[in-house]
A and B are shown apart, each in its own frame.
Chain A
Amino acid sequence: MSVSDPGRGRSLLWTALLLIVVFAVVPALLASAGRSYLYQVANLIMIFSLLSVSMHLVTGVAGLLQLGHAAFYGVGAYCAALLATHFKLSIGITLPAAGLAAGLVAFLVALPTMRLVSIYFAVATLGIGQMLYVVMLNWVPVTKGPNGILLFGGLQFLGFDLSKPAPAYFFVATVVSVSIYVLHRLSHSYYGNALRALREDDQCADAMGIDTARLKLESFTVSGFFAGVAGALWAHTAGYISPADFNFNVSILILSMVVLGGLGSLPGAIVGAVLLIGLPELLREFKAGDYRNIIIGLVLFGAILFLPKGLIGETSALDLVRRQFGRGRSIPGHEGGVGWK
């Protein structure tokens, strides 16, 4: 049906193009540059793409302001790292285990908080994110506290050794692509429309017979699952994790990616991740040093000021924030204006 899925052909083209870039163009460039550091940057961009797309589902599509996403990333990373160091398990097992652990924690967090509306939900995720961070920092017997955990095993999958930069890259690219495909199907379907209705006006969605509490629970859990998968990828490719990788700044970084790309847009979330991870690395090459954080700040500020809907978003960040504060109030800002009413 053309109405339900406009531009299907175009989206197939984009998908093919993206896959060619990820699986052919970028590896070719990386191989010709021949520096393992650049492989790390590429992996980091892909891992953050997955983090940003998983937050896109819950914040961009379902409209729940999530301020603790990095904590679920951390739960996944620690789960994978502990299984790998204590039981010598390979990523074939630690990856799904990390996803399930983070998903379970997200589910348990969502159970009591899903009835919270608007800003209270955001504050709850902020608090829970900080709590999990403090646990990683202070539960020294298990997490080794601020010293973090070293993984010596490298990247083994089904008996193959993927520790070399290029195989590791292809492994991360495959896992991230499949995960993003799943998230894409969820957000571009009638199920995604139900989540969007939740974002636009949850009471009104109720009146349409949509079980909003269940949808919040499901989207939050799925989002947590994929954050956990991203955590396992990070633990195994970086070889070292510490609590600082999963603190509040990282949550805000992921949120910035979603906002910069445009709330509600999955390609936007990827673009946001590529820019906010790639740009600092690029600036590092040019020895921009301490100015890079200022430049990133300016990019974000400019994006919110001049691109209220991000680069390619469906809804503006200010609308989302306004909705968090003014429940049930109508939203007059569709003229594209900026400001508080």
Chain B
Amino acid sequence: MSEPFLSIRDLGRAFGGLKAVDGVSADIARGELVGLIGPNGAGKTTLFNLISGFTPPSSGEVHFKGRRIDGLKPDEIARAGIGRTFQNLRIFPNMSVFDNVSVGAIGAERIGMLSAFTGRRGVSERISQRGLAALQAVKLIDDAEELAANISYGKRKYLEIARALAMQPDLLILDEPAAGLNETETKALADFIASLHADGMTIILVEHDMKLVMSICRRIIVLASGRKIADGTPAEVKADPAVLEAYLGGDDA
């Protein structure tokens, strides 16, 4: 049996006395689209930060493509092939849309200072291609030269995803991509994420919008108080008494 694509083993993180993530384990196969849900404060974003290296874990291990990645720096994990977006939109506002996206490709290509003098051949050409392809994928090509601060909120959401796509990651983790979008926009985003998945991208999706998660994910992991309380198909999760308890029995449901 070969090593799973992404393997989270007994992962934990405590902030002082608070166990934000407490012994979570999960294996994710290449090509899966997994939803990660849970009430507020369940530890979803912390789990994302543990996987992407922004927060070092207090215990447990993360293996990605057969390599242990917990303890690596965020940029090393990104170059290992994990692209992410942030919960509260984090684009580069004073750069053009294309330049924003180019940064994803630049990181993945690991360019050095000398690349500034080699003209538009080689690595610079590849970065341009990657950037344009990512912009085409999210249909922002017409806004390429626009300042990122000047495009609409909905477009910025796609810009952030495009920037991660320009890294050509093997695993994409999206932290609440639908936050702040209206119903029509959310529906369009769901279709877009589903199309990325159909093209073979492995995706983990944290989302509050239950309808979005239930409609496109075939597997859902539920966290509550830092622990994994359910892992299964949408139907299984919906029927799980522990999930109902977490969502309806809690004080913030």
Contact = CB atoms under 8 A, between A and B. Distances in A.
B102 A193 contact: yes
Nearest to A196: B95
A200 B115 contact: no
B46 interface: no
Contacts of A210: 75, 78, 103, 106-107
Interface stretch (B22-30, B120-128, B198-206, B212-220): B120-128
A250 B124 CA distance: 37
A200 B84 contact: no
B90 A205 contact: no
A9 interface: no
A303 B132 CA distance: 37
B59 interface: no
A331 B110 contact: no
Which interface class (under 10, 10 to 19, 20 to 34, 35 or more) fits A?
35 or more
B94 interface: yes
A6 B145 contact: yes
A197 interface: yes
A281 interface: no
B98 interface: yes
Contacts of B131: 3-4
A194 B116 CA distance: 11
A1 interface: yes
Nearest to B150: A334
Contacts of A206: 54, 73-75, 78
Nearest to A6: B145
A207 interface: yes
B106 A208 contact: yes
Interface of B: 52, 54, 73-75, 78-79, 83-84, 86, 88-90, 92-95, 98-99, 102-108, 110-113, 115-117, 120, 123-125, 127-128, 131-132, 144-145, 149, 163-164, 167
Interface of A: 1, 3-6, 185-186, 189-194, 196-197, 199-201, 203-212, 218, 222, 264, 314-315, 319, 330-331, 334
